[in-house]
Structure 1
């Protein structure tokens, strides 16, 4: 029997029978191949996601890949059988921000797959077909499950606007940081520095294109044109600013804890730093991520360290929150028989 995960309340989940929802007009039903787990999924499970950004009971899962099984009225039948990934934000399409392509700023309010709408920790997912991004027929669907965080990083890369020959740095060595290295490498920087808390991911970062690696506690270099912060802490934001030359560009992708000290306005003004922020990914960033992935310039697969069946959800939550440097991206595979023993 096919099952799905339902989180009824913080810390309370069930494995329940799954009944696919037939696609209505404008919708598609997707067979889920794999679903990734990130810190925000753990927030949902622990109950510390900000108010208004989760709705219980809930089937989580916003990072996923799959194959279209059926389409509803008004959707091209040719979409059936295609490998796809999908945007999470359920934007209204009619407000001024949506018309400007800034769908993550939709004024109709927040709604997102896996947080306020049913997510992909289930064998199938039914959603508006307009949110889907088809992949090449030969795309690796396991690697593609990381295209949601990649789209967020693509949004940061577009805002960073790194140009060939510039000095570029990434602060953070998690999934977002390693994806950022790959996107920024494609811009042909003169230097691409990665800053981490330890040396555990130095080899991986250099394999993705980093030309240098710096660990916390050492004196920071300076003079960088662009810095992408991908660690989600006030310390990382301050480190990013310290790396920049005057007039440099800082892109923040993480969300520090409420009340954390950030960047002082005096320093920003005196040094004339440009600070840009990312929360989610608009369609242009998704298109960029899929294009870079399809071109072979983005390889998320080495970041996957664990693949587990859906009923190992508690184990997956433990792994994501363990702090173990050997744990990278954790994937759940909804259908039994899709994988062998636990990786990692």
Structure 2
């Protein structure tokens, strides 16, 4: 049996290689990949902007994926064979204090993640620990399921947001994360759900997903939200999000702006007595929350996919993913 994998030897340099699919070791599974998504982190790999401690070249990228279990290693239940699945990316140690607390993305043993320091899913197959799997229902759409990694990150934000029925809620950002956030937060029955974007290209989609109002960042904005989720990844977006918040409200930041960015004034945070919570990746509880919501039909992810390309079109796909207005770009082996 032969297989293909896309290898990034360094920034701007990739190749397709033929290799026999690896046999899963004890506690591992081999997944036949259906699709792998491209996000900003993959563009960082390609452009060479990812911090040194968070990448190890050469690497097979691909941390957003879906597939089907085709082989299991020793100690893994054979019932997993043939199951549609997604899986966590952080290769946590399971024994440090943060892992025991369920905060696996903060593992103190050091950073290891599928697609960045460990082989990822831009390949025909992917081998990973079975403990990281989140199996799906038999009828799950694997194309839509390839977006469950970003959905899990948003689920982490939604859990930290703790929205209650009747709350006034806002989302800043209209990309993939923002549109998923609208769906999670709408399910909590807020009295108002405002979405703020740079332009109006995604206004209809936001309203279709449950938003009650839409405004652009350069329009007059309210300042009475109980909860605001920032899902845009820029310092400007963080400042906009804080401005939407009432005094004593809760702000959840999910984006990662460039190092050294400014945008939040500590004095403003104190005077507002704002509660700020942040998200870095998705721990197991957030993954489970996202998968349950997906299986229950509460997340409509397929409309967020705008491009589907073959694996050998990686460079083209990265370029498309960086264009304004582009949605999720998927690569298929």
TM-score using structure 1 length: 0.96
Task: State how far apart, in whole Å, the 2-side matches of 1:2 and 1:72 are.
Answer: 19
Deviations 1:154-195 (A, max 9, x none): 000000000000000000000000000000001000000000
Name the residue aligned to 2:153: 152
Q: How does 1:184-223 map to 2 (within 5 A)?
A: 184-223=185-224
TM-aligned CA deviation for residue 265 of structure 1: 1.3
In the other structure, the counterpart of 2:328 is 329
Q: CA deviation at 1:217?
A: 1.2
Is 1:228 equivalent to 2:226 in the alignment? no
Superposed counterparts of 1:247-258, under 5 Å:
247-258=248-259
Q: CA RMSD in A?
A: 0.7
Q: CA shift at 1:256, angstroms?
A: 1.1
Task: Note the 1:1-344 alignment, pairs <5 A.
Answer: 2-323=3-324, 325=325, 327-334=326-333
CA distance, structure 2, for counterparts of residue 137 and residue 41 of structure 1? 29
Q: Tell me the distance in 1 between the aligned counterparts of 2:145 and 2:323.
A: 24
Q: CA deviation at 1:2?
A: 3.4
Deviation at 1:18, TM superposition (A): 3.0
**Conserved? CA contact 2:6–2:61, under 8 Å:** yes
Q: Distance in 1 between matches of 2:5 and 2:18?
A: 6
Tell me how far 1:222 sits from its aligned partner. 1.5
Give runs of ≥4 in structure 1 deviating > 3 Å.
none
Contact 1:224–1:243 (Cα < 8 Å) also in 2:
yes
1:338 aligns with none
Q: Deviations for 1:271-320, whole angstroms, at most 9, x for unmatched residues?
A: 10000000100000000000000100001100000000101111101101
What SS does the aligned partner of 1:52 have?
A: helix
Paired with 2:99 and 2:260, the residues of 1 have a C-alpha distance of: 30
CA distance in 1, matches of 2:117, 2:226: 38
Unaligned regions of 5+ residues in structure 1, if any?
A: 335-344
User: 5+ unaligned residues in a row in structure 2: which ranges?
Assistant: none
Structure 2 counterpart of 1:340: none
**Which whole-Å deviations, capped at 9, do the CAs of 1:127-163 have from their partners, x for residues lacking one?**
0000000000000000000000000000000000000
Shift of 1:264: 1.5
**SS of alignment partner, residue 54 of structure 2:** coil
- Cα distance in 2 between the residues matched to 1:161 and 1:18: 46
Secondary structure of residue in 2 paired with 1:69: strand
The answer on whether the counterparts of 2:217 and 2:240 sit within 8 Å (CA) in structure 1 is: no
Q: Is the 8 A contact 2:3 2:125 kept in 1?
A: no
C-alpha separation in 2, matches of 1:190 and 1:322: 34
Matched residues in 2 for 1:260 and 1:273: separation? Answer: 20
Cα separation, 2, equivalents of 1:225 and 1:18: 53
Q: Contact between 1:18 and 1:123, CA under 8 Å: does it hold in 2?
A: no
CA distance in 2, matches of 1:322, 1:241: 27
Write the distance in 2 (CA, Å) between the matches of 1:294 and 1:42.
30
User: For residues 231 and 276 of structure 2, what CA distance do their matches in structure 1 show?
Assistant: 14
- Give, in angstroms, the shift of residue 322 of structure 1: 2.3
